[in-house]
Amino acid sequence: MAARNQGAAITLDAVASEAGVTKPGLMYHFPSRDALMVALVEYAACQLERRMAALLGGSDGTVEERYRSYVQAAADGQNMRAEWALWFHSSCRAELQEAWSRHLDRWLLIPEGMPPARRARLLTARLAADGLWAAQASGVGAPGKADAAAIVAHILGLIGEGGAE
């Protein structure tokens, strides 16, 4: 809904209408717009986390494997616009940032003591994936399918296999 409405405000009336329920029915479950937004972010973050977990095949993976799963999930096109709209909306709302963090911190945490060059590669890869995600979701400067695949391959190459440096 957020993606379809091109950034227009998400109101309780609009959500109730979209869901096919009355506004009082919606407010029974979500007493405020803030509660609804937290629930939407929780849902989107959980969906992204599930896609990353599926890419790992059920293991916890190394930090590099977790970052590769993030890059692939961020670029896979599933729920991209809705997730990005919610991510962007979270930029100035601490409770929404916390909801994303609850799901993504374990995937994106870089262990203390990691060599600086390895750490920089991981952070660069993540930020590049975020940029690709933003471009594809917004349609602004979005690469074509072949270019996007090449960009993902390049980002994955930045991550490397890990190990000492």
pLDDT higher than 80, residue 11? no
Q: Judging by beta carbons within 10 Å of its beta carbon (0-12, 13-18, 19+), is residue 154 exposed, middle or buried?
A: exposed
77 inside domain: yes
116 inside domain: yes
HEC assignment per residue over the chain: CCCCCCCCCCCHHHHHHHHCCCHHHHHHHCCCHHHHHHHHHHHHHHHHHHHHHHHHCCCCCCHHHHHHHHHHHHCCCCCHHHHHHHHHHHHHCHHHHHHHHHHHHHHHCCCCCCCHHHHHHHHHHHHHHHHHHHHHHHCCCCCCHHHHHHHHHHHHHHHCCCCCC
Higher model confidence: residue 139 or residue 122? 122
Query: Which structural domain, as residue segments, surrounds residue 151?
Result: 37-159
**Mean pLDDT of the region 22-36:** 82
26 inside domain: no
Among the residue ranges 57-71, 72-86, 126-140, 141-155, the one predicted with the least confidence is 72-86
pLDDT (0 to 100) of residue 88: 81
**Mean pLDDT of the region 137-151:** 92
pLDDT higher than 70, residue 153? yes
Higher model confidence: residue 139 or residue 66? 66
65 inside domain: yes
104 inside domain: yes
Q: pLDDT tens digit string along 36-90?
A: 888 888 888 898 899 999 999 878 899 999 999 999 998 887 677 788 888 787 8
61 inside domain: yes
Nearest partner of 42 among 103, 108, 91, 106, judged by Cα:
103
27 inside domain: no
Q: Cα–Cα distance between 67 and 61 in angstroms, integer? A: 9
How many domains does one find in the chain? 1
pLDDT (0 to 100) of residue 115: 95
pLDDT (0 to 100) of residue 38: 87
Residue 116 is part of a domain; what is its CATH number? 1.10.357.10
What pLDDT band is residue 8 in, cutting at 50, 70 and 90?
low
Q: Model-level pTM?
A: 0.81
Higher model confidence: residue 163 or residue 101? 101
122 inside domain: yes
